[in-house]
């Protein structure tokens, strides 16, 4: 599978990840990686020792989540 974002730009790059939101395949240049604690923290900034979950998204969905 090739990167969807690169495909939009007329390029062909092997994809290394899949967006968890829209399911688009993305390459290492286009993938957005976030680490979020699955447990909601009552006080922002508080350090927790929970193992954060990895969330891979494409640039489009990353921007959409940032704006929401
Ligand atoms: Zn790409
Ligand atoms: Zn996406």
pLDDT tens sequence for the chain (68 residues): 999 999 999 999 999 999 999 999 999 999 999 887 766 655 666 666 677 888 999 999 999 988 97
pLDDT attached to residue 42: 59
Q: Is residue 16 part of a domain?
A: yes
- Nearest ligand to the C-alpha of residue 9? 1
Say how many Å lie between the CA of residue 21 and the centre of ligand 2. 5
pLDDT attached to residue 14: 98
SS3 state at 11: coil
pTM of the full structure: 0.74
pLDDT attached to residue 26: 98
Q: Is residue 14 part of a domain?
A: yes
Q: Is residue 45 part of a domain?
A: no
Q: What is the DSSP string of 13-65?
A: -B--EE-TTT--EE-TTT-EEEEE-SSPPSSTT----SPPEEEEE-HHHHHHH
- Residue 29 contacts residue 13 (beta carbons within 8 Å): yes
pLDDT attached to residue 32: 96
Say how many Å lie between the CA of residue 17 and the centre of ligand 1. 10
pLDDT attached to residue 51: 77
Domain range for 59: 4-38+52-67
Q: Count up the domains in the chain and report the number.
A: 1
Q: Which residues surround ligand 2, an ion (CB under 5 A)?
A: 19, 21-22, 24, 58, 61
SS3 state at 3: coil
């Amino acid at each position: 599978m090739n990167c969807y974002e690169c495909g939009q730009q007329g390029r062909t790059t092997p994809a290394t990840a899949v967006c968890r939101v829209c399911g688009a395949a993305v390459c290492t240049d286009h993938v957005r990686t976030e680490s979020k604690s699955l447990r909601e923290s009552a006080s922002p900034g508080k350090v927790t020792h929970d193992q954060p979950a990895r969330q891979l998204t494409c640039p489009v969905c990353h921007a959409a989540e940032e704006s929401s």
